[in-house]
Chains A and B, each alone.
Chain A
Amino acid sequence: MNNAKPYQLLPFRFMRLNNNKFLVVNEVGEYIFLPNENFDKLVNYTLDRQCSTFLDLKAKHILTDTYVAPAIDMLAVKYRTKKAFLYNFTSLHMVVPTLRCNSNCIYCQVSKKDPNAVGFDMDKKTARKTVETIFISPSPCIKIEFQGGEPLLNFNRLKYIVNYAQKLNKKHKRDLVFVVCTNLTLITPAILKFFKKHNISISTSLDGPCDLHNKNRPLQNNKLSHGKFVANLKLSRETLGRGNVSALMTTPRHSLDQFKKIIDEYIRLGFHNIFIRNLNPYGGAKQESKTIGYAIEDFVSKYKDALNYIIELNLKGTYFAESFATLLLQRILTPFTTGFVDLQSPAGVGIEGAVYDYNGNVYASDEGRMLAAMGDQEFLLGNVTTTSYSQIFGGDKLRSLITKSCLEAMPICSHCALQSYCGADPVRNYAEHGDVECHAATSNTCKKCRSILLYLFELIERNDRDINRVFWSWINRSPFEGRAEN
C-alpha cells in the first residue's frame, strides 16, 4: 500500500446513470450503484473506511486497504473464469449441406436458392473434407449445426456427415453433438427416427401466430407454412422429447407491435423461452429494409414492453424466459462465462464458431457467409478442399479479425462501464459501417445492447424481490416459485 493514500483503487469503469447516480463496474463485471456524493469521495480518497459503501467496494474488489497482490490474484481468477469461453477454440461448426430452400421468408438473410436449383448442394468429397477439418479443431466439444437453405433438402448428405463424424469420433473421442436448423416442413417419421438414433436436436423458426408466421415465412409458391409447422413440431417432440426442439424468431417491422401475440403463441405451443431478435443487415433483410426495416430505437422500445410483459407472465405463474435478457443477466449477476459468439470480447468469429458452405468455403461466421452471398468475400477464411486447417484458423485474416474485436482496445468501448457484459461482432460492424472495428458512437448494435443493459440495471436497482426471483429463475432455468412473502 502507498502510505499517502488511505486505500488503493482497483481497476473499474464507470458511467452516469442519471443526475444523481453512477454505475461502477470492476474488471470482472462486479458492479455497485453509487450516489454522486459517494462516487466523488471514492475517487478523491475520502471515503470513510468504516462505512457500508466502503465495505461493499472492498468486497467487490473495487478498492483495497490491505495488500494489493492478493486482490490481483483474486481478480485474475475471476477474470479467467469470465473469459473461459476462450479455452476450447472452435467448438461450433455450422455446415451448409445445401443452399436450396423450400421457404420464401421475407427477410431471408442467406440468399437461398429454389428447391430445384442445381449446383448448390455439398458434394460427398467436400462433406468428407469438411468433417475431417472439423476434427482437427482442438476443442473437446464439437457441435455440428446444419444450416441452409433447408438442410433437409439434402438429407442424404446430412446423414453422410453425421455418420462420418461419428466414425471419426470413435478415434477422437470428443463430446460430439448435432443440431439441425430446419423449418420443420419436410420432417418425416423416418427423418426423426434417424435424428433420435443419432441424438440430433432441432432448432426451428417460429415468428408468431398463424397469420404472422405465414406472412414472414411462406413456403415457395406462396404456400402457407404454419399448419405444417405446428403438426411437425408435435411429431418432432413426440419422437425427440420436448427439450430437443427449440425455436428462434425474427422481427420484421410489422412484427414490432405484435410481440405480445408472438409470446402468447410461443407459450401456447409449449415453449419456455423466446429470443426476441431484431433484423440483421444482410441479404433480403437489407434489400427490403424500406418495407420491413426499422430504427433500432423502435425495436428497443418494443423489446422493453415485451420484457415487462414476460416478467408479468412469470409473476402470474407462467415460467417463460427471454433469452437475450437471460444471457445478459447471467453476465451481470453471476461470475460465470457465457458463450455467445455474437457478443463477446474477443469476438467469437472463427475461434468459437465457423461456417462451412456447400462449396467448401469456410467463413468466420454465418453472417460472413451471408455477406459472401451478397458478393462480398471479406470473411472467407479458405476452402476445406484447398486450404489447410492452420491456414484457415491460424492465418493472418482470422488473427487480424480477432485482434480488432477486443473491446478492451476500442475507442469508447475501452472506457464503457458495460464492457464486461458486452462484446464485439466484427462482421456486423463491417456490414453496418464498412469497418470491422466497432464505432460505438454510431453503431446500432451498441445502441441496442447499451439500452437493454441499462434497462436491466434499472430493474436490478429496484431490488424488487419478485423481479429478482424471476431473473434468477431464468438464469437457473427453473420455474419461478411464486411471489416473495412480505
Chain B
Amino acid sequence: MDGILKRFEKKALTLEVNKELYQKEAILFAAHKFINRCFITIEPSSEKYINVLFRPKDENLQLDDFALEFCNELLDQQVRLNIEKSYGNIRELIVKQAFCPIENIQNEIKI
C-alpha cells in the first residue's frame, strides 16, 4: 500500500494517506463511499499526511479487509481525478452542444 500507513486501535482504523500521492478530493470521495459502514473523520496529521479515522458501525467488520478495500477505492478515485483533468472541458461541451449548439466547437475546446 504505497503512500498509506495503517494503524489499528480500540476497534478503529486509522489510515495515514500521503498527500503527495493522493489529492484531498480523492480521499474525500473514497471515504464518502464507506459512510454506510463506518463513522469517518478526516484531518491533517502532518505536512505530508492526512489521517482518515474509521470507526465501524458494526463491530464485526473485518478492518484488515476494509483497509485493503479503501486503498483500492482511493486509487480509483485518484485515477478518476487524473483522467477528469485530461478531459479539460470536453464533458461540458458535449452537454452544451446537445442542448444549445455551439457555433465553433474547435475554438471552445480547452484540453
Tell me the A residues contacting B by CB distance below 8 Å.
2, 5, 8-16, 27, 43, 67-69, 72-73, 75-77, 79-80, 83, 411-412, 415, 441-442
Contacts and interface: CB of A to CB of B under 8 A. Distances in A.
A411 B32 contact: yes
B36 A77 contact: no
B95 interface: yes
Contact of B111 (A2, A12, A15, A27): A2
Contact of A441 (B32, B98, B111): B32
Given A9-B83, A72-B105, A16 B98 contact: no
Interface residues of B, number: 29
A9 B98 CA distance: 19
B109 interface: yes
Contacts of A12: 83
7 contacts: A14-B76, A43-B82, A69-B109, A76-B96, A412-B29, A412-B32, A442-B36
Contact of B94 (A15, A72, A415): A72
Contacts of B109: 68-69, 72
Given A43-B83, A68-B109, A441-B34, A76 B94 contact: yes
Chain B binding surface SS class? helix
Q: Which 6 residue pairs across A and B have the least CB separation, nearest first?
A: A76-B97, A80-B98, A11-B91, A76-B98, A79-B98, A441-B36
Contact of A75 (B86, B94, B106, B111): B94
A72 B87 CA distance: 11
A75 B98 CA distance: 8
A296 to B, nearest CB: 12
Contacts of B105: 69, 72-73
A75 B97 CA distance: 9
B37 to A, nearest CB: 8
Chain B CB within 10 A, most for which of A9, A11, A79: A11
Contacts of A442: 35-36
A79 B86 contact: no
B15 to A, nearest CB: 18
B86 A9 contact: yes
A67 B32 CA distance: 37
B87 A11 contact: yes
A439 B36 CA distance: 10
B90 A10 contact: yes
A72 B97 contact: yes
A77 B98 contact: yes
A83 B111 CA distance: 26
Contacts of A79: 94-95, 98
A40 B73 CA distance: 15
Contacts of A80: 98-99
A75 B95 CA distance: 9
A101 to B, nearest CB: 37
Contacts of B72: 16
A72 B33 contact: no
Contacts of A83: 98
Nearest to B92: A11
A43 B97 CA distance: 26
Given A76-B98, A83-B98, A8 B36 contact: no
A159 B86 CA distance: 60
B80 A415 contact: yes
A11 B85 CA distance: 10
Give the residue among B72, B98, B99, B109 with the most A Cβ atoms within 10 A: B98
A116 B90 CA distance: 61
B93 interface: yes
A102 to B, nearest CB: 42
B91 to A, nearest CB: 4
